[in-house]
Structure 1
């Protein structure tokens, strides 16, 4: 009984302290599951790509970006994954400024900052509470609290074997306090597995190092190898389209999803690709190409990676419900709604407990 009372106090005050934050991250996460579709409806001008003919060379895209950004070079390019999608040039790591380019004409469709897009603002609110690295840490810590809330709630919910059916019952008549309690109890037990999965994958995305080290230790996988180092630079770098063609040949059947532009003259070109069997929507296969010789320095096929790497690649698709199609995406939307409902029912229970007459 003492343990149960202690868990009740932990569950109560953790929910009161972090419940509102969990509600915000849950609701914004639900909206972001279909974020691209929503963004297309809200701002069709930057998504207004009409498929036709062949795509222009990537060098032409970079020229258009440089012309619109006073010569500035993007950090990386997000390549279109459907015929009517633009090339998106991220000018910084957080995507606070993005340039959208028509892949068929090379024309700039628009330039947006985070505040110019509702979906981008929701993404920053979900990931970092609009507060950068400190906000990310707070969101990650709140995910840890959600795990504690879920596990303590499971213990508090357990009615015993003989009264197990009572744990799945909405008692009638629907009196205010009892109905809140039953709704809180039912919502918690039915969403428990999905909330724990969402919290665990979210925390692992915010704090990746401990999870990666644990998985590599548990599976006895070798440490992740460092990016290859090309030889001495001789002459001018080859055109980027030549380098991308070499990257495509390195992994037959893969589709380029992202191109990281080198930060220094001696760094290789890093190309991210997705094989059809990969669960991650952007793929986790990597190809490194020497910019001066065009030689492929290393090609990492994500399907042939150690078990730890393959498990780590599942975090993001599981978190957003991308692994399984429309049904799992809808389930991810529903999962994001539960923290708000649990917080409200729990908050009303706490209020009514403070005022028994009410």
Structure 2
């Protein structure tokens, strides 16, 4: 089956198999060589087909963002995938906590770690897991936040106090975690220094609570845009306030790396700074030229409902003529100055092009667009297609609700 098969229509999302597998292998090798564990954030794709490949390359488990995603990934255990899961948020709904208790007690999931960042979150877990049959299957991480940022406590003193509440409730504290993304929006020297400072605070928080953790203390961060800084800082030797050596486990949760992109992550690319890259953009969104209504303007059927636009607008990469039989012709690369997307409607892209380009394009031609921020492109589709060239290797079901 091909992407121009009669049963499919545009717009279409494809995932290049060679790029996907290169990215998975490259990042797995980096983390293995650094001696850290990996729980990739599967909110990027929510695909068993992709996670199966990530798990085969070596993972601790999967990271999710919501209880709904947690339920989905626990279900993945029924199709043969190992189900250790890290919920990178605090549970705040007693229904979800009771469901998790039942799933753990029934052995439907091997192990789950969750965040806490409030006494209310600790109390909810305490109520749900009282006299749990398998208390060791639940791990609790105190979340370290950023002033003015998202969730997570704002000081090391608050981390220590909340960690004590966790252990007093009889819950298993495993360490501390957080997300370095809000600290910096780019990769200037000053921004990378800010990420390093945040990592220093995370390490200090881990050292502060180490005495409450049975075994090694977990230090967990994201690492999609700043993996080089996170690896360098979190793998440094750790000591408690008294100067005693603390045994630590570093668990990273990068997600977007699996597809990379032509925009935000291409610019940030920490893997290149690590000497391991570059990663390869794996996603292409294919859409037809619908109209060439005036000189220098091309309208394509690829809008906000079809391609991400939260960080950057999509990038035209190639154009292909469609034959009378509906088959795609040979791809013609588009030079950098050929044109650019200037705006998106729900399902239209406004592409401003040079006069030469305008003469080459006709309604019905198919344009392949690169994306910026793969997470918000994947979520727009229920099915993506893993491809070698135009040949479909595997339909990838994307479990977004």
Assess same fold via TM > 0.5.
Answer: no
Higher strand proportion, which one?
2
**Larger Cα Rg: Structure 1 or Structure 2?**
1
Relative to the length of structure 1, the TM-score reads 0.26
Relative to the length of structure 2, the TM-score reads 0.24
Higher helix proportion, which one?
1
